[in-house]
Structures are given as C-alpha cells and as structure tokens.
Structure 1
Amino acid sequence: MTVHTFHLAEVPRSVSARALMSPPSATAAPGLDHGECMALMRLGAPTLSPDRMQLRRLAVFAQWRDEDAVDRFLTADPLGRHLSQGWHVRLEYLRRWSTLAALPGLPARAGAWEQDEPVVAFTLARMRLREVPRFLRWGKPVERLVRDHPGTTLALAAFRPPRTIATFSVWRTVREMEEMVRGRSAVPGADRHASAMAERGRRDFHHEFATYRFRPLSEHGVWRGRTRIVPTGAS
C-alpha cells in the first residue's frame, strides 16, 4: 500500500545542503516514488530573517511503495539515518486539489473521513519567481492565521531554492481545518485564507500548486522536545 511520510530533523548544514541539491531518488532508496527535501521556515517570519530559511532544520516529504521501504531508508540510507533521529509521521492519502507532475498517479479522492478525526494538510508549490513579492504580501497573513489557529498542533513552512515552497499542518479535526479554509473560523481575520485563494485565482502565483489531505497513521520520534504531536484519535 502506498504510504506518505513527512520528516523533521536537525541535521548538519552539509547534510542539509546535499539533500537540497540532490534529494533521494528511487535508485538510491528502493521503494521511493518521490521525495522533496526543503529547509524549514517559521510561518509568518520576516522575509529577511534567519527564521525564513533554517538550513539546519530539514523537512522531507516522500511517497513510498510501502512501509517496509520507509523502514529500510531510515536504517540503511545516510540521509535516512539522520532523519531517523528526528520526528516523522506516516500518512494515508485521502484527497488532493490540483496535481503535480512529480506525483501524477494520485486519484482526486481516495476514501472517506469523519469531521471529528485528526487530519494532516500538505501543500507544495513551484513559484513563479516574478510573483514572489505578491505571493509574500498575500501569503504571510495566511501563514500567521494557520500558525496561530487553535485547531493546529503543528504548522510550518519549508523552502528549496529557487522556487519550491511547502506548508505542513496537523489539525485536531477535519472540521477545524475546513472552517479555516472557508474563512469561517471564530478567530480574528478568519477570511485571510479565502481571500488569498481568490487572489491566486485572479492571477496565479505558481507554475504548479497542489494541496493534499492525509489521515495520520502513526508518528515516530521527537521534534524539538515534543512528542504526541498528532492528536489523540489517530492510530
């Protein structure tokens, strides 16, 4: 069964630089369909800030043929061994909006979910470089909305130069995530996400853009002293 993973780890700068320049491939990691390696960013951080690109904090999103392939990678691959010292969550794919050339085989929807179950959202985009200033103007308020939302237990962004950007968030419930997306949350500035999506529809910021919804299956390890990041209710 296809499984997705999202990893966070503190690594030496040299390890991060190699991963950004040469992400793992199916040749080096049997059972891997696709991997994205990115430097972590703090959501809402100033544009010119060390928090905007944290080279020693590596985020990796990957699609695998099965969980055995994940286990082999974490024990046998040099990058995998670094990632095994951090935190990761294993994910069951549920739904996508739009698609990426790198992940062509995912159906638009794969299963059902309950409104009160935990959910993970992952967005990956390839930026139009000329649109970056406009994207930051509209995107930063959304970053702060997600970062500070009471429904998230973890929310972050990641970047790989020159044009790949991603967001990752763990939500207590599907309902809270959907309310945020639709601008219906009982928080200040609840319409920020909906407004940014309307602006993207008017003139796209990206060459490619896709949002994915996952059910968390299991989490492993520790991230910055935290465990049990996935809310109780996920297996």
Structure 2
Amino acid sequence: MRYMAFDRPVLRRTPGLTFWRLLGSGRGASTSMGADLRRWALLAVWRDERDLDRFLRDSPVAERWRSTTRESWQVRLIPLASRGNWNGVAPFGPLPTSPPGLPPGDASGFPHGGAGGPDPGGPVAVLTRASIRPARLVAFYRSVPGVDRLLAEQDGCLASVGVGEWPLARQGTFSLWRDAAAMRDFAHRGRAHRQVIGRTRAEGWYSEELFARFSPYASEGTWDGADPLA
C-alpha cells in the first residue's frame, strides 16, 4: 500500500505518460463495498508506444512489478470511443461518442455499450468511472448486488473488476468482453442494470462520469491464474 503514495512522484516524472491513475480494487469481480488490499491497478495513457516500452524496461515501478508481485497482468488498448471526463479531463483525447440511435453511456459502475465508435470485432474492454454524490452513496451501493449477479451470469464477460481512487465515492469498473455484441446484450437485456441506468439519470447520482470502450491488442501475464484474452 505504501507504493500507492511512493510511486506518484516517479510517475509524474515519467516521459511520455500523459495521464495516469493509481487505483485500488474490489474483492474478486464484485463492485460492491470492500477492498482487496493486495491488488491494485495503474491506468496509463501514453504519448506513443516507445514511451511505454521504455517505462517497462527502465522504471523502478515496472521493475518492482516483475520482482516482488505474486501475479501481474497488463493489457494494451486502443481507445474506440469515450464520453465524459475524469477530474475535468478527457484522458483519451477527442473520440467518437454515442452514434444516433444508441442511448448515451453512463458511469453507473457497469458497462452498457453506450459509447459508440467503430466495432473492430473480437474482444472489447470497457472502463467506467464516476464521482458519486455523498447523498446518493446509499442508493448506489444498494443497487450493486443485483447488477453483480447479472454480470456474473452474463455469457461473454471474460473478466471484470471494481476499481476506485477513493473508498466509496470515486468508483469504477474495468471489464473485458468476448465481443461488442456480448457487451450490448448485458446492457439492454438485464432488468437490474436497466433500472440502475434509469435511476442514475433521474436521481442525479453522479457529479462526474466517464465511459470508454477499447480494443485490446496485446496482453501479458495472468489475472487470477490465467490471461482472460489468451
């Protein structure tokens, strides 16, 4: 846990790293309250792939991943579409948002296929993130178990994890899907998920939200014993 603080100055000085966040994670695949204090994540946006390769080769942060962790997994992603901001910033640059005829994305903590952009075929990754208003925290966490159950039963979800910058109030998910069709099926056919989407809008749960969709093109290592994209 101490490296959640000690890595920050190193990352600020890393050439080519245009946006980054150190994130804690939930237990297992759940997005409910509770944290796995042994598991954490780094979201990183790079100016180009050479900067990433240099970081993985030379940075003391990456060296510690190799030498002291029991397990690690990394994935390289091309952003396809993004809607919303993260602390006032659009971290993935100007990208397509929802095309005509599709509902807008939301950061309810769960992917629902709202961000448009091209469909490259094959697996897709989804990142959601939200700043939850204090008065809406109880409603948000009461809604989580039903969607967690739906997600666990969903055919086509390869892996998912809850992530967060702060305990409780700044939460998100990262999920991997067999293809865009599986992601959309979860979004539109699950009653619990549709209800959450409706309530987030009607009751104003979030002060800020982001939904982004990506195409994974390379991965390395294991996540719970296997590479979900293998």
Same topology, TM > 0.5:
yes
Secondary structure of the residue aligned to 1:90 is strand
Pairing of 1:77-88 with structure 2 (within 5 A): 77-83=59-65, 86-88=72-74
> CA contact under 8 A between 1:118 and 1:171: conserved in structure 2?
yes
Opposite residue 95 of structure 2, the aligned amino acid is: P
What amino acid does structure 1 have at the position aligned with 2:14? A
How far does residue 56 in structure 1 lie from its aligned partner after superposition?
1.7
1:4 paired residue number: none
Match of 1:106 in 2: 94
| Contact residue 32 and residue 63 of structure 1 kept, 8 A | yes
- Residue type of the partner of 2:49? E
| Corresponding residue for residue 38 of structure 2 | 56
Other-structure match for 1:230: 229
**1:157 and 2:162 matched:** yes
Alpha-carbon distance in structure 2 between the residues aligned to 1:67 and 1:23 = 22
Question: Structure 1 residues 78 and 204 mapped into 2: Cα distance closer, same or farther (>3 Å)?
Answer: farther
Deviations, residues 76-111 of structure 1 (Å, cap 9, x unaligned): 222233345611110011012333323253323585
TM-score by length of 1: 0.77
1:33 aligned residue: 18
- Aligned-residue RMSD, C-alpha: 2.3
**Structure 1 residue 196 corresponds to structure 2 residue 201:** no
1:142 and 2:147 equivalent? yes
- Rounded to whole Å, the distance in 1 between the matches of 2:201 and 2:73 is 35
CA–CA distance in structure 2, aligned partners of residues 76 and 204 of structure 1: 44
Partner residue in 2 for 1:187: none
Change (3 A) 1:205 1:79: farther
Superimposed CA distance per residue, residues 193-216 of structure 1 (whole angstroms, 9 cap, x where no aligned partner) = 111010001022221111100001
- Cα deviation 1:34-53 (Å, max 9, x = unaligned): 11111110343763xxxx21
Report % sequence identity: 26
Contact 2:123–2:180 under 8 Å retained in 1: yes
> 5+ unaligned residues in a row in structure 1: which ranges?
1-12, 184-189
Spell out the pairing of 1:3-22 with structure 2 (5 A cutoff).
Answer: 13-19=1-7, 22=8
CA gap of 1:45–1:91, structure 2 versus 1, over 3 A, is closer
Paired residues of 1:99 and 1:210 also in contact (CA < 8 A): yes
Match of 2:206 in 1: 206
String of CA shifts for 1:128-187, please: whole Å, max 9, x gaps: 22321111012332233223322111111012225321101110111010111112xxxx
CA distance in 1, matches of 2:9, 2:203: 31
Task: Report the CA distance shift for 1:134/1:64 in structure 2 as closer, same or farther (over 3 A).
Answer: same
**Higher-strand-fraction structure:** 1
Classify 1:203/1:172 alpha carbon distance in 2 versus 1 (closer, same or farther; 3 Å). Answer: same
Output the TM-score relative to the length of structure 2: 0.79
- Pair 1:121 & 2:103 matched: no
Indicate whether 1:92 and 2:98 are aligned. no
The 10-residue stretch of structure 1 (152-161 or 94-103) with the greater mean CA deviation from structure 2: 94-103
SS at structure 1 position matched to 2:182: helix
Cross-structure match for 1:9? none
What is the rounded CA distance, in whole Å, between the counterparts of 2:229 and 2:160 in structure 1? 12
The structure 1 segments of at least 4 consecutive aligned residues displaced by more than 3 Å after TM superposition are: 16-19, 22-25, 43-47, 82-85
